[in-house]
Amino acid sequence: MEFGNIGGAGPFGSLRCSVPGHTLANPLAYRFDLTGFSERAPQESAGLALLQGIRSLARMFSCATLRAIGFGTGPFPITTLALKKPEKHCCGMFGRLLPLVLSAVLLLAAGCRRHKREINLYVDPEPHMTYWAMWYFTQEFHIVVKQFHNPVISPATFVERLTAERDHPQADVYWCGDPIYCEILHERGLTVPARHQFQIPREFQSEENHWTGVVARARVLLVRQSLGKNAPQSIRAYTDPMWWGKGALADPLSGTTRSHFAALSVLWGDRELAAFYDALRKNGTRITKDNEESAALVAKGEAEFALVDIDVALKQIDTGSPVEIIYPDQGKNDIGVMMIPNALSIIKGCKDLDAAQKLIDFLTSVENEVRLIRFEQSYNPLENHTAILSPYVRHIEALRLLPVDYAAAAKKLPEMGKILGTGQKSQ
């Protein structure tokens, strides 16, 4: 899927936007900056769906082929249509009238105006996953959702961007891959409460409903298959002399490892976390740039295990690497596996609070959770009755979970460099 460019973003980088319903061959360009944005008018997504249906019907009967000659900027994106003559094997009154019927329906569709209600969604996860969810939402509620995304912008940068837009908010809803950053927005007074979602477990919503979780990914141990039953079962293996020089870990000052360490700091205390980090480094653990590099080391046999996000681990399994997944710390006295849900927050000052709330309700529904899991099978469902498609994913009620105080962890996040004694600033 292609996205129009949005520039002029100052120190926070540019974003890209897509509106559900636009054809892949004709993405519309949007421009965005800290003072506002201008856009070409979004097209009626129902009109495009109708056009695609007409094309399919015409091909099925081989009586008429609709060919788009040009794209316009009016209420319907096709300015000119060409009808081929009926093929010889198409005969009778139906064959002669079908092109006229299709043309009449198309003219009616051309009279449809664009959806009057529009909201802006800042997207941290990859938008190819969120695109179809927005498409279904638009069809049901007739509200266009414009998604803004940049694959190189981190959640921390999104937070700073939303902070800079405090007086002139551009986003209505923020979809973040890590709720800790939604807690930071809440601390800064940049979010408003949404309706409580009773189908979502309490631990995956903020106490005051300033963010709501939707599907989660686990932090798992990716291990070499050759280890068999001797594979490590806990993150404490990083400090075990038995595993000297055999572990890999992404930099705890960035990404999901930073969030994981912030949660551990709340659970263990700063001193115990600092001692743990010091011990794992002395035990020869390789500190890598990110989860992907850690997983690659295990896949190549240069490390025996690594703590990574499950989606990263599954990519190595999908490529045929001799590795397997272990959910760590599942013993009776263990701390449990960390789950990181996606989080949705309504931005304070959004232009359409009702539409934003409808979007939250829709995205947290069981039906949408099923769609997301079908698209990205590494996600753990938050709703107990949602089917799991991957043999490596488990329902959360079957797991011992790391207790996470997201609000407290958010306060720890900027201090991770100081806590770990690295002298570096968290990213």
For 37-46, the pLDDT digits (tens) are 223 233 334 4
CB distance 52 to 105 below 8 Å: no
d(CA 24, CA 1): 6
The string of pLDDT tens digits covering residues 275-299 is: 999 999 999 999 999 999 999 999 9
245 versus 115: the higher-pLDDT residue is 245
The pair of three-digit structure tokens given for residue 350, joined into one six-digit string: 């959004």
Which residues share a beta bridge with 240? Answer: none
The residues, any chain, with a CB within 8 Å of residue 71's CB and separated by 6 or more, are: 26, 77, 78, 79
Could you tell me the pLDDT band of residue 32, with boundaries at 50, 70 and 90? very low
Q: How far apart are CA 423 and CA 204, in angstroms?
A: 32
Residue 97: which pLDDT band, with cuts at 50, 70 and 90?
Answer: low
Which DSSP helix (H) or strand (E) runs through 421? none
Asked if the model's pLDDT at residue 100 lies above 60, the reply is no
Sign of CA dihedral 240, 242, 244, 250: negative
pLDDT of res. 107: 45
Enter the pTM of the model. 0.75
- What percent of the chain is modeled with pLDDT above 70? 71
Give the model's pLDDT for residue 129. Answer: 72
CA neighbor of 118 nearest in space, from 219, 24, 45: 45
Burial 224-240 (b: 16+ CB within 10 A, else e): beeeeeebbbbbbbbbe
Tokens, residue 187 = 């601390």
The mean of the pLDDT values for the chain is: 79
C-alpha–C-alpha distance, residues 182 and 409, integer Å: 11
Confidence tier at 72 by pLDDT (50, 70, 90): very low
pLDDT of residue 93: 55
Distance CA 34, CA 292 (A): 32
Token pair 């829709």 is found at 362
β-strand pairing of 339-347 with 173-176: antiparallel
Burial of 190 (0-12, 13-18, 19+ CB in 10 A): buried
Domain boundaries, the chain: 45-110, 217-339+403-420
Place of tokens 């949005």: 6
Mean pLDDT across 320-338: 96
Question: What dihedral angle (degrees, nearest 10) is formed by the CA atoms of 252, 258, 260, 263?
Answer: 120
Q: Tell me the percentage of the chain whose pLDDT exceeds 90.
A: 60
Name the E strands within 212-254: 212-224, 247-250
Fold (CATH) for 217-339+403-420: D-Maltodextrin-Binding Protein; domain 2 (3.40.190)
Give yes or no for a contact between 300 and 292, defined as CB atoms under 8 angstroms apart: no
